[in-house]
Amino acid sequence: ILNVEQSPQSLHVQEGDSTNFTCSFPSSNFYALHWYRWETAKSPEALFVMTLNGDEKKKGRISATLNTKEGYSYLYIKGSQPEDSATYLCAFSGGYQKVTFGIGTKLQVIP
C-alpha cells in the first residue's frame, strides 16, 4: 500500500495571509504528482500535474514545487482569499494510471 501523506489536515488563515502545505509520497517508481482543488459539492479540479524533479508550477496566486528524490511537494497560496477555501488533494501516480490520494488539506480562509 502506497503512503501519501498531507499535512496539515486542516488550516485556518486570515484573508491576505500566505500559506503552504505539504504532500509526501514514495520516492520510487515516480510518474507524476497531481494537485487538485476540491470545493464542497463540486468536482475536484486539477491544479497541477508535476513530473520532473525540481518542477515549479504556478497558476495565479497558487504555486507548487516538487522534489521527487526526497518525495515531497509543497503547495503555496499567496495572499489567501475566501474563495481559496477548499480541500487541496495531492495524488501520487506510480504507474498504470492509478493514483493514490492523500487525505487532503482543508483550508478555511477567514475574511
Comparison of 80 and 87: residue with beta carbon closer to another protein: 87
For the CB of residue 45, give the shortest distance to another protein in the complex, in Å: 8
In the bound state with another protein, the residue whose beta carbon lies nearer, of 103 and 110, is 103
Q: How far is the CB of 17 from another protein (least distance, A)?
A: 26
The 10 Å Cβ neighbour count of residue 22 is 15
Q: Cβ of residue 38: shortest distance to another protein, in angstroms?
A: 8
Nearer to another protein, 42 or 111 (CB): 42
Which stretches of the chain bind another protein, using CB under 8 A? 4, 31-32, 34, 36, 41-44, 46, 49, 51, 89, 93, 95-104
Q: How far apart are the first and last CA of the chain?
A: 40
- Residue from 59, 35, 57 nearest 46 by CA: 35
Query: At 27, which amino acid appears?
Result: S
CB closer to another protein out of 71 and 102:
102
In the complex, the smallest distance separating the C-beta of residue 14 from another protein, rounded to whole angstroms, is: 26
